[in-house]
Structure 1
Amino acid sequence: MDVLGIDACGKQGWVGIKLTDGAYAGSLVDVRLEALIERAGRVEAIAVDMPLGLVEKGWRTADLQARALLRARRSSVFLVPPRPVWWQLDYVAAGDLCHELTGRRPSRQAWALAPKLLEARACWLADERVHEVHPEVSFLALADGVPLAYAKKTWRGQNVRRHLLAAAGLTLPDELGEADRIPADDVLDAAAAAWSAHRIALGAAGRIPEVPEVDAEGRVIEIRY
């Protein structure tokens, strides 16, 4: 059984980690998400580290609950603005509408996700294999519910994450091929997404929240792990 985990990686576009029966089976990098998914071939589940389902007003329950669970790592989960905000042309207009719909303006970090969020959302709407994940939630599950003490960009944090993946049977080799030039934290995030994709394919994955909200397009708004 093949699955794919994907993380956004700046100007390089997207990095994917492919698993076969839960074990590392290769990496892919592409500037376009749709192209990366097509190159992966036949996979049972695709987990993407990007907000996909959007509410019409207020904040997503998935983000609020994930932040509460992550405690020390809560800042890694952005509050995702409602759907109409993402169609605004600039940060000022988006901020004004977000304030109207939520009572707060979005962070610039969240707004910077707009191009990739809309790209990933289009793939999600077109392909039922695509699911939203958040790597820190996946690593929380890998660590038996204990939030990690070190951030993913630190030496200690990266080593802890790599060891957690290896303990679950997902050993990342020293040479990855296409992903060799991708920042280590993005590779680890894609691997965590792949671990969750394997659980999704097996029907063993958890979800936040337990009772998901529903997107305007009829798809559920949830973070899988």
Structure 2
Amino acid sequence: MDVLGVDACGKQGWVGIRLTDGAYAGSLVDPRLERLIERAAEVDAIAVDMPLGLVEKGWRAADLAARALLGVRRSSVFPVAPRMAWQEQDYRAAAGRCQELTGNRLSQQTWALRPKLLEARACWLADERIHEAHPEVSFYALADGVPLVYAKKTWRGQALRRSLLAEAGLVLPDELGEADRIPVDDVLDAAAAAWSAHRIALGTANRVPEVPELDAEGRLVEIRY
């Protein structure tokens, strides 16, 4: 069983960690998500760390439920604006549309994700193997339902995350190949997404919320882990 976990990694585009039967099987880096997925060939499931399903009004229940799980790490889950806000062409218009639909404005930090969010969403709508994941929710599950105290950019945080993955059978080697020059936190996030993708393929993955909302295109708005 082959699966792929993917994380956005700045100017490099996207980083993917591939697993075979739950064990590390290689890394991929590509400026375009569609091409990265094509290069991964016939994997059984793909988990991407990026909001995919969008609601028409209000904040997504998936984000609210994930924040409730994560405690001290709740700020790692940002509220995702409704679909119409992402269709605007500039930040000012998007922030205004978000306030109209949610009661709050969209932050500039969140708006900066727009190109990759729309890229990932287009792939998701075209490929039913693709699911939304969130690394901190995956690490929460890997730690038996305990939010991680240390942030992912800290020494202790990265050591803990790598250890949790190894305990689950996902041992990241010192030499990753294509991902050797990718920031450590992005690699760990992609690996956590791959762990969730393996659970999705096995049919053992959990989701938040328990009763997902529906995207305008009819797909579930949920985070899998």
Cα distance in 1 for residues equivalent to 2:218 and 2:19:
29
Deviations 1:72-109 (A, max 9, x none): 00010010000000011111100000000000001212
1:87 aligns to what? 87
- Structure 1 unpaired stretches of 5+: none
| Correspondences of 1:143-222 after superposition (within 5 Å) | 143-222=143-222
| Correspondences of 1:32-43 after superposition (within 5 Å) | 32-43=32-43
Cα distance in 2 for residues equivalent to 1:117 and 1:58:
18
Cα distance in 2 for residues equivalent to 1:57 and 1:112:
21
TM-score, normalisation: structure 1: 1.00
Cα distance in 2 for residues equivalent to 1:188 and 1:108:
25
Asked if 1:53 corresponds to 2:20, the answer is: no
SS of 1:4 mapped into structure 2 = strand
Cα distance in 1 for residues equivalent to 2:83 and 2:92:
16
Deviations 1:39-63 (A, max 9, x none): 0011000000000000001000000
SS of 2:128 mapped into structure 1 = coil
Identical-pair percentage: 80
Cα distance in 2 for residues equivalent to 1:167 and 1:107:
37
Cα distance in 2 for residues equivalent to 1:175 and 1:46:
23
Deviations 1:153-205 (A, max 9, x none): 00000000000000000000000000000000000000000000000000000
Q: Give RMSD over aligned pairs.
A: 0.4
Deviations 1:10-33 (A, max 9, x none): 000000000000000000000000
Task: Give the number of aligned pairs.
Answer: 225
Cα distance in 2 for residues equivalent to 1:108 and 1:199:
34
Cα distance in 2 for residues equivalent to 1:167 and 1:108:
38
Asked if 1:111 corresponds to 2:115, the answer is: no
1:135 aligns to what? 135
Alpha-carbon offset, residue 2 of structure 1: 0.3
Cα distance in 1 for residues equivalent to 2:55 and 2:25:
35
Deviant stretches of 4+, over 3 Å: none
2:14 aligns to what? 14
SS of 1:171 mapped into structure 2 = coil
Q: Which amino acid aligns with 1:103?
A: G
Cα distance in 2 for residues equivalent to 1:174 and 1:99:
46
TM-score, normalisation: structure 2: 1.00
